[in-house]
Structure 1
Amino acid sequence: MRKPLAAALFALVLAGAGTATATAAPGTATTSTETTSTATKSATIQAADFAGTVSLSNCSGSVIRFPNSADSDPALVLSNGHCLETGFPDPGEVIVDQASSRTFGLLDSSGSKVATLRASKVAYSTMTDTDVTIYQLTTTYAQIRSSYGINALTVADTHPVAGSAINVVSGYWKRIYSCNIDGFVYRLKEGGWTWKDSVRYTSACDTIGGTSGSPVVDSTGKVVAVNNTGNEDGGSCTVNNPCEVDENGTVTVRQGINYAEETYQIPACFGAGNKLNLNASGCVLPKP
């Protein structure tokens, strides 16, 4: 996992070598039921910037909205489950509506901090099937745009495409990694956690710790995934060394390759007012 290095090492001490996930600050990125498209790997992407991304104390993130979000809705911040301030959620654990006053540094297009945003709660967090934390803020999209001239990033509600050009935009490091989607991993396993249908990057996205939670943005400027881990040492299915498992149970290790978790399934779980509804039609996120 990709937290700041010191935080990641501390988490490993607390959780034990066999139970923690990847790194959060110095670092980043990582295959799939192997549906790589070589024909489109050379695709290019428009220049990305940092507007709408945020820096956390140990990770990256972004202010997000969904296709049906209203300007008057409380804004949301997307990061990783393993970036949650109260520690890694256990395998099978799902957290909803947990009080939080965490702060986020809002960045403009150049990567300069223009404001401090504050959470009112953790709307949703898990490391089961995916690796996401979604915070609800004390401010609305309209207030953020009016005060700072910054729009939220829209989360796409369609599955990303193999071979597509992408940017991984880290608010923590104020660095942008550009590469392509190499394919999709049936199951990505790291320590005690398993993630489904993960995005594997081509090698150019050599993300590092601290890039955890970075939005993965496609050529349309929409968020298609959230950056979360990479195989650092060539280990198999251990913390900081995720492995790929196909439908037949075959394990593949790709040292130096990095990964993200898809986000297209999230919009269906949020309704009017950006309220979480895990029972909504089409919502497949794990429930508590």
Structure 2
Amino acid sequence: MRLRRALALGAALLATSSGMLVGTAPAQAAPAPAPVAERAAVTLASTIRLNNCSAALVRYPTSVNSDRAMMLTNGHCYEGGFINAGQVIQNRSSSRSGTLLNSTGGSLGTVRADRVLYATMTGTDVALYRLTTTYSTIKNRFGATALTLADARPAAGTTMTIPSSYWRRIWNCKAETFVDTLREDQWTWRDSIRYDAACDTIHGTSGSPIVDDASGRVIGINNTGNDNGQMCTMNNPCEVAADGTTKAYQGQSYGQQTYWFTTCLNSSRAIDLTVAGCLLTKP
């Protein structure tokens, strides 16, 4: 997974590249819709740098200004460590914090979470946090507008951008195809996005949003890549065919889809795994 060795790599790059310097963190009417930015080139705006991973400030398509803001990263970036296969975490208290970045990677300040809304490393590799402040407060305080999660499955061939807050660096990639079953060590993921061969994401890019260049919406989350060509081991995911045969491709990177969240929302915009058609992994 694209988390391991991030700190060691960061130390080496900080010593050699000023472009990657790490910043320091500083009567009810119908609610108005949360603002959606006009489509523009993907930057580092609204990404969040964690101590070990990348993350992003996100919203559902139906979110409103008064909703608590949310932060999206990988399940394997969870502060409690890797989540065991088959385990799902819901509505657990948290004190996670991160540094919200502007379009050029500069620090806007610190955002804090008080709850893990949903996290798992089974079926997918995601962790969604509730922040202590609303979208409106973040907009007023930092001028930041959350990235919107797409509500439909992306298509093969989609051109996409992967902005990593950890490295303050952007990758331009393409969704080459989808992998029905992807396995790494004890974890198995479904319908994973396989990137084009030139998309060489590295350790520390875990949790980076995958943004559709055409719509500007988040279609996935970057999570892993095969380092050494090994088969189905840690940091060496393999693709599993219907007959159980496995193939591994050294250097190949992958991400997980995020529209699944929108299939599990109830009328209050809360994750409800009992909603008909919900695709998120259930306990």
Instruction: Give the TM-score category using the shorter length.
Output: 0.7 to 0.9
2:153 maps to 159
172, 184, 193: which one aligns with 1:190:
184
* Displacement of 1:179: 1.3
Q: 1:255 to 1:46 in 2, by over 3 A?
A: farther
Q: Which residue identity does 2:89 align to in structure 1? A: I
Q: Which residue identity does 2:83 align to in structure 1? A: P
1:256 maps to 251
1:281 maps to 276
- Counterpart secondary structure, 1:143: helix
Post-superposition, which runs of at least 4 consecutive aligned residues in structure 1 deviate over 6 A?
none
- 1:1-288 matches, within 5 Å, as 1-5=1-5, 47-219=41-213, 220-288=215-283
> Take 1:165 and 1:229, find their aligned partners in 2: how far apart are those partners?
19
What RMSD, in angstroms, separates the aligned Cα atoms of the two structures?
Answer: 1.7
Q: 1:232 to 1:109 in 2, by over 3 A?
A: same
- Counterpart secondary structure, 1:266: helix
> Take 1:89 and 1:281, find their aligned partners in 2: how far apart are those partners?
26
TM-score between both structures, scaled by the size of structure 1: 0.84
* Displacement of 1:221: 0.7
* Displacement of 1:248: 2.5
- Unaligned 5+ segments in structure 2 are 9-38
> Take 1:246 and 1:167, find their aligned partners in 2: how far apart are those partners?
28
- Unaligned 5+ segments in structure 1 are 9-44
> Identity over the aligned pairs, expressed in percent?
48
> Take 1:273 and 1:74, find their aligned partners in 2: how far apart are those partners?
12
Q: Which residue identity does 1:269 align to in structure 2? A: C
Higher relative contact order (CA 8 A, sep 6+): 1
The range that moved more, 249-258 or 129-138, is 249-258
* Displacement of 1:64: 0.7
> Take 2:103 and 2:271, find their aligned partners in 1: how far apart are those partners?
29
Q: 1:79 to 1:51 in 2, by over 3 A?
A: same
Q: 1:178 to 1:81 in 2, by over 3 A?
A: same
> Take 2:224 and 2:188, find their aligned partners in 1: how far apart are those partners?
12
> Take 1:272 and 1:153, find their aligned partners in 2: how far apart are those partners?
21
The range that moved more, 212-221 or 242-251, is 242-251
> Take 1:260 and 1:114, find their aligned partners in 2: how far apart are those partners?
27
Q: Which residue identity does 1:187 align to in structure 2? A: T
Q: For the Cα contact (< 8 Å) 1:69–1:272, is it kept in 2?
A: no
> Take 1:203 and 1:94, find their aligned partners in 2: how far apart are those partners?
32
* Displacement of 1:7: 6.4
> Take 1:106 and 1:273, find their aligned partners in 2: how far apart are those partners?
27
Instruction: Give deviations 1:211-231, integer Å, cap 9, x for gaps.
Output: 000000012110000000000
Q: Which residue identity does 1:266 align to in structure 2? A: F
Q: For the Cα contact (< 8 Å) 1:70–1:273, is it kept in 2?
A: no
Aligned residues between the structures: 253
TM-score between both structures, scaled by the size of structure 2: 0.86
Q: Which residue identity does 2:135 align to in structure 1? A: Y
Q: 1:286 to 1:136 in 2, by over 3 A?
A: same
Q: Which residue identity does 1:90 align to in structure 2? A: N
